[in-house]
Structure 1
């Protein structure tokens, strides 16, 4: 099941060449270590650990959201069932910890595991809030930003901080890397929110429109509802109604989100967070690799 999820095998265990995902968090570990004068070998195990944590959350998220497709293929739970998918996610989480303990230098292994554990607590809190937002009224932009800081920002911050730790950086540098990654995580989630409504399925590997049909309070939706416009008021009524949204309703909701300024607001916020992320770093840490990764978060199509 793990090999299938990572795009290495088909459901029968035969090798294939499917989309394995972006490995962005692992790349941030390696690039952050390099920015702090560390080598890729020093940070490889930490990079693998954060990638395992990320994928444990994806497997569980697909169950919670009842998503049938990821990376253009049926999700693990839709192939093997909820029970096995939950256990796979648990196993990936445990493997992340083992990878960090066995692969990182002994003098930093405890710090790496401690950061991973604290990050997983933040992730779970953020995910719980995200799920709760689907049935909670009166969500504000500030509420949303706080949720995303845990759900998405925490692991990207951890990735960058671990890269610095593996390179032997001092506490101030590790903290700057963590702040950089957290800002980048906000930009990543805002872009994800845009792709969930306006993305191209053939590029994103996920069906577009499910978030709106589920009345998911993503940033474009929350910003549109808070706009005070007539379109925002109509959208709020649609999202608070009890009847399910059909395809026609979803199309109308997407139109209202854009008319109320939700799309434009989210695009501005994504760009702004990338700039703020780079501003968190001292000039000596703003390497070409980190700049490329940061710019790749904003404006991506998948």
Structure 2
């Protein structure tokens, strides 16, 4: 996940920081137990991936209180969704654990697929332990996620597992489409958004739906929560695409320009390639070249994307998806306090350093 920054007022940032801190605190013990139950060496690799230890297994002091492993955005969504429909956050701990494990599973596999050498400001797991070990650790995390949901007390476990399985199917389709886009010459904006809805939106949608399910909400309210998270996830992916071209690697922990170097069809690129003007045609020619792009050519590609309208189109899509998310949230009939907190979190996620 990309580092979060915001230009929102201090009170809003403080409020969201408190929500995220509470989510980390609430999910940490159960998450540590779930990862602790993994076999070696997958347990050590998972702990390294989350920033809990060094490559040799030495615990990092900063991880003692549950820090490391991202901002806990998805657990926060699970807990807020449960509270939105009148349940206590504690009832949704199995869902929060599951979405964190599934998120880490997807990140481990993503880094292998993309060949990204960095994750969260240090070497990616595959670069340290090798590709087979990283893939197997992702598989182990996925099994752990389903176990966490199956252990949910009461009759809600089956519904929670079904929710996760539908999401995983969407996630796999989205990931497959993302890889396929690299090999095709033309991608429509609509095709890209469908891919993002699976690759990123499905997990955020599932996080929100699981909060509602575990709190005992009816199907209509769960659907509103799911659609809120799904649209927010697409907006989040669009912002990641912007940061992948114009962001700051010191904040993201990943090299800026890597998407352009790999000729990925991110939304700014897809929108720019649809432009029939000189900038769009020049970008298409640059992307069609078989030779690797050097630094100056990557900078030129970023300039062409902006001149062809890719940046502006993506920012408009972020706004559109965010508005759709808030409309969906209203269908879940959340309490006023939680609506405000989810709105603030959505604003933070979609107003990162862009």
Which residue, 21, 36, 48 being the options, matches 1:4? 48
Which residue, 70, 76, 84 being the options, matches 1:35? 84
Rounded to whole Å, the distance in 2 between the matches of 1:206 and 1:90 is: 24
Runs of 4+ in structure 1 off by over 4 angstroms are none
Q: How far off its partner does 1:98 sit?
A: 0.6
- Aligned match of 1:199: 247
Rounded to whole Å, the distance in 1 between the matches of 2:319 and 2:54 is: 37
The CA deviation string for residues 245-269 of structure 1, in whole angstroms up to 9 with x for no partner, is 1212111100100111111111121
The CA deviation string for residues 130-162 of structure 1, in whole angstroms up to 9 with x for no partner, is 011111111110110111111111111111111
Q: TM-score, normalised by structure 1?
A: 0.97
Which residue, 57, 73, 76 being the options, matches 1:24? 73
- Are 2:179 and 1:131 equivalent residues in the alignment? yes
Rounded to whole Å, the distance in 2 between the matches of 1:243 and 1:135 is: 15
RMSD: 1.3
Q: How far off its partner does 1:301 sit?
A: 3.6
Taking the TM superposition and a 5 Å limit, the aligned residue runs for 1:206-221 are 206-221=254-269
- C-alpha contact 1:122 1:150 (8 A) present in aligned 2: yes
Which residue, 263, 279, 284 being the options, matches 1:231? 279
Q: How far off its partner does 1:227 sit?
A: 1.8
- C-alpha contact 1:204 1:301 (8 A) present in aligned 2: no
Q: SS of 2:329's equivalent?
A: coil
Rounded to whole Å, the distance in 2 between the matches of 1:227 and 1:24 is: 35
- Are 2:272 and 1:259 equivalent residues in the alignment? no
- C-alpha contact 1:42 1:166 (8 A) present in aligned 2: yes
| Runs (5+) with no aligned partner, structure 2 | 1-44
- Aligned match of 1:297: 349
Question: How many pairs does the alignment contain?
Answer: 301
Q: SS of 2:234's equivalent?
A: helix
Rounded to whole Å, the distance in 2 between the matches of 1:295 and 1:177 is: 17
| Runs (5+) with no aligned partner, structure 1 | none
Which residue, 151, 160, 170 being the options, matches 2:208? 160
- Aligned match of 1:95: 144
Rounded to whole Å, the distance in 1 between the matches of 2:216 and 2:276 is: 50
The CA deviation string for residues 170-192 of structure 1, in whole angstroms up to 9 with x for no partner, is 11001111111110011000001
- Are 2:296 and 1:248 equivalent residues in the alignment? yes
Q: SS of 2:197's equivalent?
A: helix
Q: How far off its partner does 1:105 sit?
A: 2.7
Rounded to whole Å, the distance in 2 between the matches of 1:158 and 1:20 is: 19
Rounded to whole Å, the distance in 2 between the matches of 1:300 and 1:39 is: 29
Q: SS of 2:180's equivalent?
A: helix
